[in-house]
Structure 1
Amino acid sequence: MIDSLILQQGSGWRAQAEVFDEIFFVFLALGTLVGTIVVAYTLWNVYKYRDDGSEPKEDFDAPEVGELPTGQGGPKAKKLFLSFGLSAIVVISLVVYAYGILLYVEEGPDASDEDDIEITVTGYQFGWEYEYPNGHTTRNEMIVPADHRVNLDVTSSDVWHSFGSSELRIKSDAIPGDTSEVWFSVSSEEVEAQGGEATFRVECFELCGAGHSAMKGQITVLPEDEWEEWYENTEGDDSASGNESASIGGPTVGGVPA
Structure 2
Amino acid sequence: MIDPIILQPGGDWRAQAEVFEEIFFVFLALGTLVGTIVVAYTLWNVYKYRDDGGEPKESFDAPTVGELPTGQGGPKAKKLFLSFGLSAIVVISLVVYAYGILLYVEEGPDTGDEGDIEILVEGYQFGWEYEYPNGHTTTGEMVVPADQRIDIEVTSRDVWHNFGSSELRIKSDAIPGETNSNWFSVSSEEVEAQGGEATYRVECFELCGQGHSAMKGQITVLPQDEWREWYEETGGDAAEGNSSSASVSAAVGGVPA
Alignment TM-score, normalising by the size of structure 2: 0.88
Seen in structure 2, the aligned counterparts of structure 1 residues 35 and 25 have a Cα distance that, compared at 3 Å, is same
Q: For 1:233, give the aligned amino acid.
A: E
2:68 match: secondary structure: coil
Report the counterpart of residue 4 of structure 1 in structure 2. 5
Mapped pair 1:42 → 2:57: no
What does the per-residue CA deviation read over 1:149-196, in whole Å, with 9 as the maximum and x for residues that have no partner?
000000011111110000000000011100000100000000000000
Q: Which amino acid aligns with 2:8?
A: L
CA–CA distance in 2 between the matches of 1:166 and 1:17?
A: 9
State the SS of the aligned residue for 1:182: strand
Structure 1 portions without partners, runs of 5+ = 237-258
| Structure 1 CA distance for aligned equivalents of residues 185 and 9 of structure 2 | 12
Query: How big is the shift at 1:39?
Result: 0.5
Q: Is the 8 A contact 1:8 1:109 kept in 2?
A: no
SS of 1:64's partner is coil
Say which SS state the counterpart of residue 62 (structure 2) adopts.
coil
Quick one: structure 1 residues 28 and 8, their matched pair in 2 at CA, closer, same or farther if it must change by over 3 Å? same
Matches within 5 A, 1:180-195: 180-195=180-195
**1:155–1:180 contact (8 Å) kept in structure 2:** yes
**Matching of residue 140 in structure 1 with residue 177 in structure 2:** no
The answer to whether residue 220 in structure 2 is matched with residue 220 in structure 1 is yes
Q: Can you list the C-alpha shifts for 1:90-132, whole angstroms capped at 9, x where unaligned?
A: 0111101110111111111112376100000011111111010
CA contact (8 A) 1:8 1:14 kept: no
Aligned equivalents of 1:200, 1:111: Cα separation in 2: 23
Alignment of 1:176-255 (within 5 A): 176-235=176-235
- The answer for the alignment partner of 2:56 in structure 1 is 56
Aligned residue number for residue 166 of structure 2: 166
Q: Distance in 2 between matches of 1:53 and 1:164?
A: 62
**Deviations 1:45-70 (Å, cap 9, x if unpaired)?**
11111111222222222112221112
Provide the alpha-carbon RMSD of the alignment.
1.5
Distance in 1 between residues matched to 2:10 and 2:147, nearest whole Å: 9
Q: Percent identity?
A: 84
Q: Secondary structure of 2:72's partner?
A: coil
User: C-alpha distance in 2, partners of 1:195/1:217?
Assistant: 20
Cross-structure match for 1:98: 98
Structure 2: unaligned runs, 5 residues or longer: 237-257
Structure 1 length-normalised TM: 0.88
Deviates more, 1:78-87 or 1:12-21: 12-21
Q: Is the 8 A contact 1:161 1:174 kept in 2?
A: yes
